[in-house]
Amino acid sequence: MATHSGADIVVAATSGLDGLIPTLAAIAAGKTIALANKETLVMAGHLVMREAQRAGVSIVPVDSEHSAIWQCLRGERTAEVKRLLLTASGGPFRRASLEQLRAVTVKQALAHPTWRMGPKITIDSATLMNKGLEVLEAHWLFDISYERIEVIVHPESIIHSMVEFIDGSLKLQASLPNMHLPILDALSHPVRLNTAPTGLVRELRWTEVAQLNFEALDGERFPCFSLALEAAKRGGTYPCALVGADEEAVALFLDGKIGLLDIAELVGAVLERHQSVLEPDVPTILDACAWARRTARELYNLKEGLDE
């Protein structure tokens, strides 16, 4: 399907590592990629962006934050970018104490205050692992170093991200939270379509916005975010191990077998055992991810055995 001769644009929106091989196949077939799958760039950004450049195809972001940055960068020079500012809603537990986080139920974690998503990405949003993955994705999409990418908690989710330039100016993209808009922009680019007749996108009335709040992200309460940044800095197959370990840990949480804070503990334990491979090819990427899933399950089973 990803290489069908009748398709000009391939929307890559599968969950997890399943999107990698179809996306690479679509690139090889000369398709424009509208990318909604974070793991594809997190695990294989070096391969995907290289192959896209070689094939002369565009990787167009669908995530609201990356779409916002993409729109802000149009007509701008990357060399004049000081930093990218990704915004995060903070999820349902941005004000929760560590004690409260330890007692979070699956039902509570699945109740995101802003977006309606599948179970895996909703839990990743609750732990802010999702925001860590977005930092890696932004690095590959926009060729910006990790040191120049920051995350700011913005609970209203009206400003979807910002770009700061070397002259001190900022550009931002704002709209009421609605995934129709970034999807539409990815599919209609370079034309902006009139959404008024459809009613799909509500107008943002600034006079009705009471206030906009911004907060620092607390890495102590959300260690999954810090783990994602650490995996990014280590490089090689560490991001692959991060994705695999997180997939298994989230599955264990959704099954009621571990707590929300245990996700980070389990992912961290897997990363500490990982032996990285630099510049991995696709089989190595998939092997590292599978190893991490197995290791996470083994560590869980070992802990359960010791507890008994």
Same domain, 90 and 142: yes
What is residue 227's three-state secondary structure? helix
Question: What does residue 145 show for φ and ψ, rounded to 5 degrees?
Answer: -65, 155
Same domain, 228 and 239: no
Residue 307 maps to a domain: no
Report which secondary-structure segment, H or E, holds 183. helix 180-188
Q: How confident is the model at residue 86 (pLDDT cuts 50, 70, 90)?
A: very high
DSSP category for residue 15: -
Q: What percentage of residues in the chain have a pLDDT greater than 70? A: 97
pLDDT exceeds cutoff 80 at 114: no
Q: How confident is the model at residue 303 (pLDDT cuts 50, 70, 90)?
A: confident
Residue 81 maps to a domain: yes
Span 236-250, average pLDDT: 97
How far is Cα 163 from Cα 148, in angstroms, rounded to an integer? 10
Same domain, 80 and 165: yes
Residue type, 271: L
Residue 278 maps to a domain: yes
The two most distant CA atoms of the chain are separated, in Å, by: 62
Same domain, 103 and 248: no
Same domain, 279 and 269: yes
Could you tell me how many helices (H) and strands (E) the chain has, helices first?
A: 12, 7
pLDDT given at position 306: 65
What is residue 43's three-state secondary structure? helix
Same domain, 90 and 145: yes
In sequence order, what are the residues at sequence separation of 6 or more whose Cβ sits closer than 8 angstroms to the Cβ of residue 161? Answer: 64, 65, 66, 68, 69, 72, 84, 85, 86, 87, 172, 173
pLDDT exceeds cutoff 70 at 182: yes
Residue 169 maps to a domain: yes
Residue type, 221: R
Same domain, 32 and 82: no
Its pTM stands at: 0.94
Residue 308 maps to a domain: no
pLDDT given at position 6: 95
pLDDT given at position 107: 92
What value, to the nearest 5°, has the Cα angle with vertex 171 and ends 165 and 174? 155
pLDDT in tens, 251-284: 999 999 999 999 999 999 999 999 999 999 999 9
Tell me which of 46, 62, 78 is where a domain ends. Answer: 62
Both tokens of 244, joined, read: 């695999």
What is residue 209's three-state secondary structure? coil
Owning domain of residue 18:
7-62
pLDDT in tens, 215-230: 999 888 899 999 999 9
Same domain, 125 and 169: yes
Both tokens of 17, joined, read: 């590592």
CATH assignment of the domain containing 34? 3.40.50.720
Tell me which of 62, 87, 109 is where a domain ends. Answer: 62
Same domain, 143 and 218: yes
pLDDT given at position 253: 97
Residue 279 maps to a domain: yes
CATH assignment of the domain containing 280? 1.10.1740.10
Same domain, 169 and 268: no
Residue of 129, 109, 104 whose CA lies nearest to 119: 109
pLDDT given at position 59: 97
In sequence order, what are the residues at sequence separation of 6 or more whose Cβ sits closer than 8 angstroms to the Cβ of residue 165? Answer: 76, 80, 81, 82, 171
Residue 265 maps to a domain: yes
Same domain, 145 and 213: yes
In sequence order, what are the residues at sequence separation of 6 or more whose Cβ sits closer than 8 angstroms to the Cβ of residue 113? Answer: 89, 91, 92, 155
pLDDT exceeds cutoff 70 at 113: no
Residue 130 maps to a domain: yes
Same domain, 20 and 45: yes
pLDDT given at position 91: 86
Q: Residue 130: count other Cβ atoms within 10 Å of its Cβ.
A: 23
Please give the distance of CA 254 from its chain centroid, rounded to a whole number: 20
Instruction: Count structural domains, the chain.
Output: 3
